[in-house]
C-alpha cells in the first residue's frame, strides 16, 4: 500500500513538471508565432496550430494533374498550371498533449487538415508519421514542428521539390486549385505589406505599409500622403507626364521614353488604379481630362470648339488636298454642331471674307483715334456710359500689352504653338508640353538626336549663337555674354522679339 | 510644421551626422530655405584641393519641384557659367525627382566636376576650350581652383605674382601669344578678350590667321 502511494506521488510530481513545461513551451511559441497559435486551451492539453507556409522568396509552384478524375484522358494527365508564389495555404494541426508530454510521450496528432486540400491525402499521412518521429523524450517538439512546416522544409521530405527550381503539387483538378493558391498568396502578401514598416523616400519618415502604396510597374514604395501631394501638384499644374513613380531611375527612364517619340505616349506613367488609391475624384477627373487633351493635342490641326460650354476638340475634316482654299478654315463641332472659322474662332463667315476684327476692338480703336476730351468722344461716352467705355478701353489696352509682351518675350513652340518664355540657359529648348526640340532664337524645329548641330554648323543663321540671346543680361548666357559687345558688329541677327507690335 | 520644413530640417540633420561624405550644408541666415552647400573638389581632377560653395534656394513646392542651385565659388567647367555660377545638370531640371535630396544633389554636382559634358554646355566658351585642348583646359581649371577655391599652391603665392600673369592664366591663354599682339600696340585686356573669344588655344592656333585676330582687335 505504501509503495503504491509513493508511486502515485511520483506520478503527481511528474504530471506537475510536465504541465509546467507545456505551459512554458506554449508561451514561448505564442510569442514567436502569434499568428499560428489559434487555441490556448493548454490547461486541458488541447492545442490547435494553424501554420501558413512562408517560402521566404517567390518560387515556381506547379499544380500537376494527377489524372485521378479522368484517368482515361491522356490529354489532361500530366498537364500543369504554374505560378510564382511565396506562400501556401495553412495546415491546421489539432493536437492533444498527454499529461506526461514532453518527458515521456509525444503529442498526439488528433487531426491534420490542409486548407483547400492542396496537399494530397497520402502525403498528409507521410507528413504525420514524420512529425511523430521528430519527438525526442524530454524535449518540446511544438516549435520544431511549426518551423518545419512554416519554412516549407517538409515539402522536401515529401518529395515535392525533386527539381529544386519548382515545387510540384499533384491534384485532381489543377484549374480549381491554382486560383485558390494564387488568392492566398496575394492576400498573404498584402497583409505582410500592410504590417511592414517602410521609410518613404520623399518625407524621409517611416510609415506602416497600410499608409503606403507599392507601384505596380516598378515595385517602389512611397507613403500615400507624399504621392497625393506630388501627383496632386502635377495634376494641378497640368504636368500630366510627371504623374508616375517619383524614383530618380524611373523619372529618367520616363523622360527618355517620352522624348523618344509618340510610341511612348504615357510611358512610365501610373495607371488609374494607382491614382485612384491616392487622389480624390476631382483630381482624377482632371487627370483623365489632361491625358485625353494631351493625346488630342499631339495632332496640331486640332481646334477646340469656341463655345465656352462646349470646348470639344474638333479635328480637321478630311480635305481634298486643297489647303489654300477658304473652305479649309471651316470647322463644325461634332458635339454642339456650331460651325466656325478655325482661324478667328468666330461664327463661320464664308470662304471668301477675311476674318473680322471684333466689334469692341474696332470700336475702341475708333474712340482712341479721336482727340482726348473732344466733343466726339464726349458723345460716345454719353451714348454708352463713361464707365463702360473706360472698361472697354482698359480691357483693350491690357490685351494689347499682353500681346506685346508675348511677342517680345516669348517664342512659340513650333510643335504645339504654346508660347514659351526662357528664364535661364541656352537657346536649345525642349518643349515641356510636346517634347519638341527647338531653337529659342529663330523658333525652328531642331533634331532631338543632334540638337547642337543647329548652333555648330557654319553657315546656318544660328551658328555659334547657342548663348548670345540674353535680353536680361543676367543668368546663364552671361559667360558667353561677356564678349557680346565686341561681337555686335559681326553678323548680329536682330531677334523678332524686338519688332514693334503693328497696330 | 509643414512637410517641406520637416523634410529640409531632417536633410540638414542627416547631412550633419554623415561624416563620411564630406558634404556640408550650412544656414546662411535664419531661413532653412536659403542654404549654402559645400564640398571638396574631386580627386584626380583639376578641381582637386579646392573647396566649392553652392548657393541653395528651396522652392515653395519642394521636394516636388527641383531645388535651385548655383556655384558661389567661381568654377572653370563647360557646364557651369564662368560668370554667374549657373549649372547645367539634368537633375536640376527635367530629371529632378522628389526622392533626390540636397546631399545627393550636391554629390551629383561633385561628380559633374569629374565628368564634364561639353555637348550640353552652360558656358560655350569654356566648352570650346575643353574640346580644343583638354590639357590647356585642365591647366586653366586648376588655376581657377587655386585662385577662387583655395586650391593647392594658393597660399600667399598668387597675391605676390604680377596681376597681368593672372589674367592670361584665367583666360586660359599663352603669355607668348598675348605678348605678340600687345607688341603690335593693342591694349592687353583687349588682346586677352579677343584671343579668348576666338579660342586661340592648342591646335586652333595654327588654324586662326593672325590677320583675322588683328581684324577683330581693330573692331
Tens of pLDDT along A341-384? 887 888 888 888 777 767 677 778 888 888 888 888 888 887 77
ipTM: 0.79
CB-based contact, A199 to chain B, within 8 Å = no
A112 φ, ψ (degrees, to nearest 5) = -130, 105
The answer on pLDDT for A191 being more than 60 is yes
Least confident of A81-95, A169-183, A189-203, A308-322: A308-322
| Mean pLDDT of all residues in B169-196 | 85
Closest among A314, A242, A249, A253 to A275, alpha carbons compared: A242
Q: Does B116 touch chain A (CB under 8 A)?
A: no
Asked if B152 is an interface residue toward chain A (Cβ–Cβ < 8 A), one would say no
What is the chain A residue with the closest CA to B63? A202
Which residues of chain B neighbour A202 with C-beta distances below 8 Å? Answer: 7, 63, 98-99
Lowest mean pLDDT among A133-137, A354-358, A490-494, B174-178: A490-494
Out of B3, B83, B99, the one facing A479 most closely (by C-beta) is: B83
Type and span of the H or E element at A48? strand A46-65
A462 interfaces chain B, CB cutoff of 8 Å: no
How far apart CA A451 and CA A257 sit, in angstroms, is: 17
pLDDT band with cut points at 50, 70 and 90 for residue A267: low
B216 part of contact set with chain A, CB < 8 Å: yes
Mutate to test the interface with A, among B13, B74, B83, B195 (most CBs of A within 10 A): B83
Q: Which three cell numbers stand for residue A203?
A: 518625407
Residue of B nearest to A426 (CA): B122
**Min distance A424 CA to chain B CA atoms (Å):** 9
Looking at the partner chain, which of A247, A425, A487 has a beta carbon nearest the beta carbon of B88?
A425
Residue B60 cell numbers, joined: 515653395
pLDDT at B164 over 70: no
What's the pLDDT band for A492 if we cut at 50, 70, 90? very low
Residue A487 CA to residue A401 CA, distance in Å, equals 32
Least confident of A89-98, A235-244, A448-457: A448-457
| Whole-number Å distance between alpha carbons of A235 and A139 | 63
What are the start-end ranges of the E strands in A333-434?
339-341, 411-412, 419-420, 428-430
Q: How many CB atoms lie within 10 A of CB B209?
A: 9
pLDDT of residue A71: 57
Beta-carbon contacts of residue A77 (< 8 Å; ≥ 6 apart): A65, A67, A70, A71
Contacts A203 to B, Cβ<8 Å:
3, 6-7
Each residue's pLDDT tens digit, B36-74:
999 999 999 999 999 999 999 999 998 999 999 999 999
Rounded-to-integer distance, Cα A440 and Cα A431, Å: 10
DSSP A10-21: HHHHHHHHHHHH
Q: What is the end-to-end Cα distance of chain B in Å, rounded?
A: 60
Task: Report B:20-39 residues touching A (Cβ under 8 A).
Answer: none
Q: How many helices (H) and strands (E) does chain A have?
A: 15, 17
The answer, for A426 touching chain B at a CB cutoff of 8 Å, is yes
pLDDT beyond 70 at B184? yes
High-pLDDT (> 70) share of chain A, %: 85
- Across the interface, whether the CB atoms of A204 and B10 are under 8 A apart is answered yes
Q: Which residues contact A154 (CB under 8 A, 6 or more apart)?
A: A127, A130, A148
Higher pLDDT, A387 or B98: B98
SS (H, E, C) A51-120: EEEEEEEEEEEEEEECCCCCCCCCCCCCCEEEEEEEEEEEEEEEEECCCCCCCCCCCEEEEEEEHHHCCC
Judged by a CB distance cut-off of 8 A, whether residue A429 touches chain B is no
Residues B119, B105: Cα–Cα separation, whole Å:
21
Instruction: Pick the closest to residue B142 from B53, B70, B77 (CA basis).
Output: B77
Q: Do A479 and B197 touch (CB under 8 A)?
A: no
Q: Does A251 touch chain B (CB under 8 A)?
A: yes
Residues 12-41 of A with CB under 8 A from B: none
> Residue A159 and residue A153: Cα distance in Å, rounded?
10
Q: Which residues of A61-91 are buried (b: 16+ CB within 10 A; e: fewer)?
A: bbbbbbbeeeeeeeeeeeebbeeebbbbbbb
Contacts A246 to B, Cβ<8 Å: 97-99
- Residue A370 burial (10 A CB sphere; 0-12, 13-18, 19+): middle
- Residue partners of A89: CB distance under 8 A and separation at least 6: A52, A53, A114, A115, A116, A118, A180, A181, A184
Q: Are B83 and A483 in contact (CB < 8 Å)?
A: no
Residue written as cell 473732344? A374
Disruptive mutation site among A220, A229, A480, A491 for chain B (greatest number of B CBs within 10 Å) = A480
CA distance A307 to chain B (A): 35
Determine contact: B167 vs chain A, CB below 8 A. no
B12 CB within 8 Å of a chain A CB: no
Q: How far apart are CA B40 and CA B52, in angstroms?
A: 6
pLDDT tens for B16-37 read 888 888 899 999 888 889 999 9
Q: Over the stretch A314-334, which tens digit does the pLDDT of each residue have? A: 877 776 555 667 787 888 888
Q: What does residue A307 show for φ and ψ, rounded to 5 degrees?
A: -65, 125
Q: Does B218 touch chain A (CB under 8 A)?
A: no
Question: Which pLDDT belongs to residue A500?
Answer: 38
Report yes or no: B145 at the A interface, CB cutoff 8 Å.
no
Active site includes B88?
A: yes
A486 to B91: CB separation less than 8 angstroms, yes or no: no
Q: Do B97 and A255 touch (CB under 8 A)?
A: no
Q: From chain A, pick out residues whose CB is under 8 angstroms from the CB of B63.
A: 202
Mean pLDDT along residues B123-143: 88
C-alpha cell at B30: 535664419
The mean pLDDT value for A154-172 works out to 85
Between positions 43 and 82 of B, the ones with CB within 8 A of A are 61, 63-64, 81-82
**Residue of chain B with shortest Cα separation from A258:** B94
Distances (CA, A) of A356 to A347, A360, A399, B91: 10, 11, 17, 48
CB-CB: which of B7, B82, B95 is closest to A251? Answer: B95
User: Are the C-beta atoms of residues A116 and A89 closer than 8 Å to each other?
Assistant: yes
Of B7, B11, B64, the CB nearest to A230: B64
Nearest to A202 among B99, B119, B219 (CB): B99
Instruction: State the average pLDDT over residues A49-70.
Output: 84
pLDDT at A150 over 80: yes
Query: With an 8 Å Cβ cutoff, are B122 and A204 in contact?
Result: no
- Kindly list the distances between the CA atom of residue A423 and the CA atoms of A446, A471, A475, A483, B58, in Å, as whole numbers in the listed order: 20, 10, 8, 21, 17
One of B8, B54, B87, B88 is an active-site residue; which one? B88
What number is the average pLDDT over the span A19-30? 88
Q: Which helix (H) or strand (E) holds A167?
A: strand A166-171
For residue B54, the model assigns a pLDDT of: 94
Of A205, A251, A477, the CB nearest to B97: A251
Please, is A171 exposed, middle or buried when counting C-beta atoms within 10 Å of its C-beta (0-12, 13-18, 19+)? buried
Per-residue DSSP letter, A47? E
Name the grid cell of A348: 463661320
Q: Report yes or no: A25 and A143 within 8 Å, Cβ to Cβ.
A: yes
Q: What are phi and psi for residue A488, nearest 5 degrees?
A: -50, -35
Mean per-residue pLDDT of chain A: 80
Is B196's pLDDT higher than 70? yes
Query: Does the pLDDT value for residue A2 go beyond 70?
Result: no
Give the best-scoring range by mean pLDDT among A33-42, A69-78, A211-220, B99-108: B99-108
Q: Is the pLDDT of residue A482 over 60?
A: no
Amino acid at each position: 500500500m505504501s509503495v503504491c502511494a509513493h508511486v502515485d506521488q511520483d506520478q503527481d510530481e511528474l504530471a506537475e513538471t510536465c504541465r509546467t513545461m507545456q505551459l512554458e513551451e506554449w508561451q514561448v511559441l505564442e510569442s514567436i508565432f502569434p499568428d499560428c497559435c489559434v487555441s490556448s486551451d493548454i490547461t486541458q492539453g488541447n492545442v490547435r496550430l494553424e501554420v501558413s507556409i512562408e517560402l521566404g522568396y517567390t518560387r515556381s509552384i506547379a499544380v500537376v494533374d494527377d489524372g485521378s478524375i479522368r484517368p482515361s484522358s491522356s490529354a489532361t494527365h500530366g498537364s500543369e498550371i504554374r505560378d510564382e508564389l511565396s506562400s501556401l495555404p495553412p495546415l491546421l494541426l489539432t493536437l492533444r498533449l498527454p499529461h506526461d508530454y514532453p518527458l515521456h510521450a509525444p503529442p498526439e496528432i488528433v487531426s491534420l487538415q490542409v486548407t483547400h486540400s492542396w496537399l494530397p491525402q497520402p502525403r498528409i499521412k507521410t507528413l504525420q508519421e514524420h512529425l511523430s518521429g521528430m519527438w525526442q523524450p524530454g524535449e518540446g517538439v511544438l516549435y520544431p514542428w511549426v518551423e518545419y512546416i512554416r519554412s516549407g522544409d517538409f515539402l522536401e521530405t515529401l518529395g515535392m521539390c525533386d527539381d529544386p527550381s519548382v515545387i510540384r503539387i499533384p491534384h485532381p483538378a489543377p484549374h480549381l486549385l491554382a486560383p485558390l493558391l494564387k488568392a492566398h498568396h496575394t492576400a498573404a502578401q498584402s497583409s505582410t505589406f500592410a504590417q511592414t514598416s517602410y521609410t518613404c523616400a520623399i518625407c524621409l519618415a517611416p510609415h506602416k505599409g497600410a499608409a503606403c502604396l507599392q507601384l505596380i510597374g516598378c515595385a517602389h514604395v512611397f507613403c500615400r500622403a507624399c504621392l497625393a501631394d506630388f501627383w496632386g501638384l502635377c495634376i494641378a499644374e497640368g504636368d500630366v507626364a510627371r504623374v508616375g513613380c517619383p524614383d530618380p531611375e524611373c523619372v529618367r527612364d520616363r523622360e527618355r521614353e517620352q522624348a523618344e517619340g509618340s510610341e511612348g505616349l504615357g510611358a512610365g506613367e501610373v495607371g488609374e488604379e494607382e491614382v485612384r488609391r491616392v487622389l480624390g475624384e476631382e483630381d482624377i477627373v482632371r487627370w483623365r481630362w489632361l491625358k485625353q487633351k494631351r493625346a488630342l493635342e499631339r495632332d496640331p490641326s486640332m481646334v477646340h470648339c469656341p463655345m465656352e460650354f462646349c470646348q470639344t476638340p474638333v479635328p480637321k475634316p478630311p480635305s481634298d488636298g486643297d489647303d489654300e482654299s477658304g473652305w479649309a478654315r471651316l470647322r463644325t463641332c461634332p458635339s454642339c454642331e456650331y460651325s466656325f472659322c478655325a482661324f478667328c474662332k468666330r461664327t463661320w463667315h464664308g470662304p471668301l471674307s477675311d476674318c473680322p476684327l471684333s466689334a469692341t476692338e474696332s470700336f475702341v480703336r475708333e474712340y482712341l483715334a479721336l482727340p482726348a476730351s473732344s466733343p466726339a468722344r464726349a458723345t460716345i461716352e454719353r451714348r454708352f456710359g463713361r464707365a463702360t467705355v473706360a472698361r472697354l478701353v482698359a480691357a483693350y489696352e491690357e490685351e494689347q500689352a499682353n500681346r506685346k509682351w508675348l511677342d517680345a518675350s516669348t517664342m512659340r513652340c513650333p510643335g504645339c504653338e504654346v508660347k514659351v518664355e526662357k528664364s535661364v540657359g541656352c537657346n536649345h529648348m525642349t518643349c515641356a508640353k510636346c517634347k519638341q526640340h527647338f531653337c529659342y532664337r529663330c523658333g525652328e524645329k531642331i533634331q532631338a538626336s543632334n540638337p547642337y548641330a543647329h548652333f555648330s554648323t557654319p553657315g546656318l543663321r544660328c551658328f555659334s549663337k547657342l548663348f548670345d540671346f540674353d535680353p536680361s543680361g543676367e543668368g546663364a548666357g552671361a559667360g558667353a555674354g561677356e564678349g557680346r559687345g565686341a561681337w555686335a558688329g559681326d553678323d548680329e541677327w536682330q531677334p523678332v522679339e524686338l519688332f514693334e507690335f503693328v497696330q | 510644421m509643414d512637410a517641406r520644413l520637416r523634410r529640409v530640417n531632417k536633410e540638414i540633420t542627416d547631412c550633419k551626422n554623415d561624416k563620411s561624405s564630406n558634404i556640408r550644408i550650412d544656414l546662411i541666415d535664419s531661413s532653412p530655405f536659403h542654404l549654402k552647400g559645400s564640398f571638396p573638389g574631386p580627386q584626380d581632377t583639376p578641381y582637386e584641393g579646392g573647396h566649392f560653395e553652392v548657393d541653395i534656394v528651396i522652392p515653395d513646392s519642394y521636394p516636388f519641384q527641383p531645388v535651385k542651385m548655383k556655384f558661389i565659388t567661381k568654377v572653370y567647367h563647360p557646364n557651369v557659367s564662368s560668370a554667374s555660377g549657373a549649372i547645367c545638370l539634368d537633375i536640376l531640371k527635367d530629371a529632378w525627382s522628389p526622392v533626390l535630396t540636397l546631399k545627393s544633389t550636391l554629390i551629383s554636382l561633385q561628380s559633374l566636376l569629374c565628368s564634364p559634358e561639353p555637348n550640353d554646355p552652360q558656358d560655350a566658351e569654356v566648352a570650346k576650350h575643353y574640346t580644343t585642348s583638354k590639357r590647356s583646359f585642365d591647366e586653366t581649371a586648376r588655376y581657377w581652383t587655386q585662385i577662387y577655391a583655395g586650391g593647392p599652391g594658393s597660399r600667399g603665392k598668387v597675391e605676390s605674382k604680377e596681376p597681368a600673369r593672372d589674367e592670361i592664366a584665367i583666360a586660359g591663354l599663352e603669355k607668348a601669344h598675348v605678348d605678340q599682339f600687345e607688341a603690335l600696340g593693342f591694349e592687353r585686356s583687349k588682346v586677352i578678350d579677343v584671343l579668348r573669344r576666338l579660342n586661340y588655344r592648342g591646335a586652333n592656333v595654327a588654324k586662326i590667321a593672325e590677320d583675322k585676330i588683328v581684324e577683330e582687335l581693330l573692331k
